[in-house]
Amino acid sequence: MTGFSTTHPTLGKSGFAFLLTDRGGKILLALLLAAIIIVPILNLAVPPSSPFHISTFMVSLFGKYLCYALLALSVDLIWGFCGILSLGHGAFFALGGYAMGMYLMRQIGTRGVYANPVLPDFMVFLNWKELPWTWYGFDMFWFAMIMVLVVPGILAFAFGWLAFRSRVTGVYLSIITQALTYALLLAFFRNDMGFGGNNGLTDFKDLLGFNVQTDGMRVTLFVLTAIFLAASYILCRFIVSSRLGRVLIAIRDAESRTRFLGYRVANYQTFVFVISAMLAGIAGALYVPQIGIINPSEFAPANSIEIVIWVAIGGRGTLYGAVLGAILVNYGKSYFTGALPEAWLYMLGALFVLVTIFLPKGVVGAWPTIKARLAERLLSSKPKLEAAE
């Protein structure tokens, strides 16, 4: 477990030491900054005929990857630094997405199929006469954005407070988080819940008065996602580098011992769980306008388990590794489900098995070993090449 520890000899020297000592993080933030500047130019300013043009489709696709990266970051925060393996983080993601989706639904107004100024189409279709109380306030952007944080936050607080206080840990916790998202999946499938049932929420028009379908809005959403990812990364890095972060790592490595030292383990766990759920909610809220739909399948337990494998592949307990893993796996998924649809599930399955056995620290953790081995091979092959010449 020592491989995960984040030792910062400079801790406390400077306000930004937690960032400056983090090489992977610096690279990540630099890449995000570059994407924020370059992608809008390549999409909007470069003509489509140019080979440097990035299509709006690609912008949205990478925007989606960044949302997943933010989600993976939130899972790494609790799993990599506090040892809480949540198999239900997709639930918080979906709840944030639903909060955003509800705002977008209310913005449709009379432009829906049934042209009802208040009720979304599916409610008119179900013959409902008035808006359920759960939808009150979602016509206001600020309220919806607060809900993006509050709904996942409150659920995570209630769940975490109950579970951690009762010292439900390890496999048991994983299973009940899975039960949580499964229960929500079933609940959101019901039409009576008033969230669109099976079909979910879709057919969005405006976000703050701007049409979400336009190129400009897509690029804006991409940039926003990148900014939120960078900001969340800094927040997470700040948390794990602080004194609080040290306690979290202590809990991860020896929960009982930390408790005996006098720390209130449950409070730390609940705190970080709530922060993580809120980050997942933000990821969901950014995801929905870019994808254009939110439906109950986002709650599926299988999705939540997949998030964990992104983190595992990238490198648990490094934060930037989670981002890398999410982007790598999802890029691979997009590519292979198109090129070899039969093979993707084999590959995903094999990734789970091989990474857990051979790469317990993920790609990031294995990088030094790979680098050393590559260098060795290069060194040993160079004389041969020279000899051949």
Partner 1 sequence: MAERKAQLVRGFASLAFVVFMMAVAALPALAASFEDTLVGFTADSFNDTATAMSAVTESGDPLAPQILGALGDGRLLFSAATKKVYFKDSTDKLFDAATGAAVTAVAPGDLSPVRLNNRLRGLLSAALGSLTLMAPDVAKRIDAAETVFKSRDITTLPALDKALAQEKNAEVKEAMLEARAAIVIGAPDTSPEHRLVAITALNTRGDGDALVLLRTLPADVPANVKQAAASAISSIEYRLSIWANVQNLWYGLSLASVLLLAAIGLAITFGVMGVINMAHGEMVMLGAYTTFVIQEFFRAKFPGFTDYALIVATPAAFLVAGAFGIAIERGIIRHLYGRPLETLLATWGLSLILQQLVRTVFGPTNRDVGAPAWMAGAFQAGHISITYNRMWIIVFTIVVFAALLALLRYTAFGLEMRAVTQNRAMASAMGIKTGRVDALTFGLGSGIAGIAGVALAHIDNVSPNLGKAYIIDSFMVVVFGGVGNLWGTLVGALTLGVANKFLEPFAGAVLGKIVILVLIILFIQKRPRGLFALKGRAVEA
Binding residues for partner 1, per CB under 8 A?
A: 85, 159, 162-163, 165-172, 174-176, 178-180, 182-183, 186-187, 189-190, 256, 301-302, 305, 308-309, 312, 342, 345-346, 348-353, 356-357, 360
Nearer to partner 1, 159 or 320 (CB): 159
Nearer to partner 1, 104 or 312 (CB): 312
Smallest distance, partner 1 to C-beta of residue 130, A: 22
Smallest distance, partner 1 to C-beta of residue 383, A: 37
Nearer to partner 1, 52 or 346 (CB): 346
Q: State how far the Cα of 229 lies from the Cα of 67, in Å rounded to an integer.
A: 8
Nearer to partner 1, 167 or 205 (CB): 167
CB neighbour class for 103 (10 Å; exposed up to 12, middle 13-18, buried from 19): buried
Nearer to partner 1, 187 or 374 (CB): 187
Smallest distance, partner 1 to C-beta of residue 175, A: 5
Smallest distance, partner 1 to C-beta of residue 307, A: 11
Nearer to partner 1, 27 or 187 (CB): 187
**What letter represents residue 263's amino acid?**
Y
Helix/strand/coil for 115: coil
Nearer to partner 1, 12 or 170 (CB): 170
Question: DSSP code of 272?
Answer: H
Residue that has been written with the tokens 């990148």 in this structure: 226
Smallest distance, partner 1 to C-beta of residue 42, A: 36
Please name which of 226, 220, 283 lies closest in space to residue 35, comparing C-alpha atoms.
Answer: 226
Which residues have CB under 8 Å from 181's CB, separation 6+?
A: 87, 88, 90, 91, 299, 300, 301, 304
Length, in residues, of the chain? 389
Smallest distance, partner 1 to C-beta of residue 268, A: 18
Q: In the chain, what's the furthest Cα-to-Cα distance?
A: 85
Smallest distance, partner 1 to C-beta of residue 79, A: 8
Nearer to partner 1, 112 or 362 (CB): 362
Query: Which residues, listed in sequence order, are joined to residue 202 by a DSSP beta bridge?
Result: 293
Smallest distance, partner 1 to C-beta of residue 290, A: 27
Q: State how far the Cα of 113 lies from the Cα of 125, in Å rounded to an integer.
A: 10
Smallest distance, partner 1 to C-beta of residue 147, A: 22
Q: State how far the Cα of 150 lies from the Cα of 170, in Å rounded to an integer.
A: 26
Q: State how far the Cα of 314 lies from the Cα of 68, in Å rounded to an integer.
A: 13
Helix/strand/coil for 200: coil
Nearer to partner 1, 137 or 197 (CB): 197
Alpha helices in the chain (DSSP H): 17-20, 23-40, 56-82, 89-108, 121-125, 141-165, 170-189, 215-241, 243-253, 255-260, 265-291, 301-314, 320-339, 341-358, 362-388
